[in-house]
């Protein structure tokens, strides 16, 4: 009779109870090792004690060593009252934040009329041009030049079709002495303002005039121009008295749009998050700071794969590369989107702006960036709100375009 398989004996120990315990212990160990991405151990010890009558007393000892789950830390912010909270006191709340509906809108543009070209004129009345031969014409021109040079200092303005002019021979200049008058004969100049309130106050002083016009543009950069002596259909004007407001973008808007789509290494992206944390309104400041610290902590690992989870987050699987923990695996979850609360213009109200977090695994290294969701719609609405405010305060109607 040959040796029986060990499993035949195993299923009979303690009337099969040991076999059931081994099955349950193995299932539990597999689940915990998979969840923790770490190893475990199952040890079965069988002891034999012979009796005097040929019998054999068998005892067993089953031990299971499951991987220890790492307990995460919690980040909270201290308040002046000595309390702890998840929200950063500097972090903006959703209350009072503007949002823009992403529906299609009709865009209308008005083009400026082309200015009329000045017509040429003749110094002689029609039909009375001199009729001389070539030599007489040359002689006439020489005499005319001599006379002009001699009387240049005594020249007086003349008019042709209502347009005043002075004939200035070569080597001479014409000058105006308006500066000697008690006041200029009309308003001219270009005033540039750094905030909307100053622009509105200045334009408001002239907005009652029928010739005042307001222009605005969104691209290439937002700007407002008020032409305070604009021409009208029945009254031409020089259009050389203007007020300009270039609507400076806020530092927060310039920071986030400048890095839109810029690919960064883990450490660089973590530093960017920490520096601009107050601009994030969702998730909480504590959660986003924990994300930045996780990027810092996993900068020396090799990333293997990424999976999108059902809760809208992305799960990244990585493997430790440092000698003390070589071969150990871990998981890192990152949100698919986060929401900013930032103003478009300096001193303006904040807008909610969604950013989509992107990543790529290249040669085991993680590359991260974000894509802002339709920021041009936010710009459009911010310019619209500013235009409506300027129109309401000045009584002018804005034209989308640039003045001639």
Q: Is residue 25 part of a domain?
A: yes
- Domain check: are 54 and 200 in the same one? no
Side-by-side strand order, sheet with 213-217:
189-193, 241-245, 223-227, 213-217, 398-400
Q: Is residue 158 part of a domain?
A: no
- Domain check: are 220 and 283 in the same one? no
Q: What is the pLDDT of residue 207?
A: 77
Q: What is the pLDDT of residue 280?
A: 92
Per the listing, tokens 């430790």 go with 320
Average pLDDT, consecutive stretches of 10 residues, N- to C-terminus, the chain (404 residues): 84 90 92 84 93 86 87 81 83 71 52 42 54 61 69 64 70 75 82 92 84 90 92 81 93 96 89 91 83 66 53 53 44 82 92 91 83 95 94 91 88
Q: Which of 190, 327, 204 is nearest to 246 (CA)?
A: 190
- Domain check: are 289 and 324 in the same one? yes
Tell me the residue range of the domain where 319 lies: 251-373
Q: What is the pLDDT of residue 68?
A: 81
Q: Which of 151, 188, 158 is nearest to 172 (CA)?
A: 151
pTM above 0.85, yes or no: no
DSSP states along 132-201: --HHHHHHHHHHHHHHHHHHGGG---EEETTEEE----TT------GGGSSS-SS--EEEEESSHHHHHH
- Domain check: are 266 and 352 in the same one? yes
374 phi and psi angles, rounded to 5 deg:
50, 60
Q: What is the CA radius of gyration of the chain?
A: 42
Q: Which of 186, 192, 250, 268 is nearest to 225 (CA)?
A: 192
Q: Is residue 86 part of a domain?
A: no
Q: Is residue 109 part of a domain?
A: no
- Domain check: are 210 and 267 in the same one? no
- Domain check: are 305 and 202 in the same one? no
Say how far apart CA 369 and CA 218 lie, in whole Å: 27
- Domain check: are 239 and 309 in the same one? no
Q: Is residue 58 part of a domain?
A: yes
Q: How many structural domains are present in the chain? A: 3
Tokens encoding 81: 């009252």
- Domain check: are 293 and 368 in the same one? yes
Q: Is residue 157 part of a domain?
A: no
Q: Is residue 176 part of a domain?
A: no
3-state DSSP assignment of residue 346: coil
| Contact present, 207 and 395 (Cβ < 8 Å) | yes
Q: What is the pLDDT of residue 258?
A: 96
């Amino acid at each position: 009779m040959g040796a029986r398989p060990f499993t035949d004996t195993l299923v009979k120990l303690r009337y099969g109870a040991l076999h059931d315990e081994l099955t349950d212990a193995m299932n539990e160990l597999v689940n915990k090792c998979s969840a923790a991405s770490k190893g475990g151990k199952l040890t079965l010890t069988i002891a034999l004690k012979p009796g005097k009558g040929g019998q054999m007393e068998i005892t067993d000892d089953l031990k299971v060593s499951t991987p220890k789950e790492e307990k995460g830390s919690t980040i909270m912010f201290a308040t002046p009252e000595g309390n702890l909270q998840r929200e950063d006191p500097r972090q903006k709340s959703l209350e009072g934040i503007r949002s823009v509906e992403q529906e299609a809108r009709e865009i209308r543009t008005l083009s400026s009329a082309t200015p009329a070209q000045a017509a040429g004129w003749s110094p002689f009345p029609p039909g009375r041009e001199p009729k001389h031969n070539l030599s007489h014409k040359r002689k006439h021109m020489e005499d005319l030049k001599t006379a002009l040079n001699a009387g240049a200092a005594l020249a007086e303005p003349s008019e042709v079709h209502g347009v005043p002019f002075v004939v200035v021979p070569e080597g001479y200049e014409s000058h105006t002495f308006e500066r000697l008058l008690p006041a200029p004969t009309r308003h001219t100049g270009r005033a540039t303002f750094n905030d909307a309130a100053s622009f509105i106050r200045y334009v408001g002083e002239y907005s009652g005039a029928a010739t005042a016009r307001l222009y605005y543009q969104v691209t290439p950069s937002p700007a407002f121009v008020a032409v305070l002596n604009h021409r009208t259909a029945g009254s031409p004007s020089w259009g050389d008295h203007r007020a300009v407001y270039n609507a400076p973008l806020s530092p927060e808007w310039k920071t986030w749009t400048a890095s839109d789509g810029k690919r960064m290494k883990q450490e660089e992206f973590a530093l960017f998050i920490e520096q601009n944390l107050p601009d994030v309104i969702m998730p909480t400041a504590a959660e986003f700071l924990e994300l930045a610290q996780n990027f810092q902590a996993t900068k020396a690992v090799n990333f293997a794969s990424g999976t999108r989870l059902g809760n809208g987050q992305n799960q990244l699987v990585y493997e430790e590369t440092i000698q003390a923990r070589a071969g150990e695996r871990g998981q890192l979850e990152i949100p698919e989107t986060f929401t900013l609360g930032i103003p478009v213009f300096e001193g303006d109200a904040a807008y909610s702006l969604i950013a989509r977090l992107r990543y790529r695994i290249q040669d085991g290294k993680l590359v991260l960036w974000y894509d802002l969701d339709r920021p041009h719609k936010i710009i459009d609405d911010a310019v619209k709100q500013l235009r409506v405010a300027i129109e309401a305060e000045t009584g002018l109607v804005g034209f989308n375009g640039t003045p001639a």
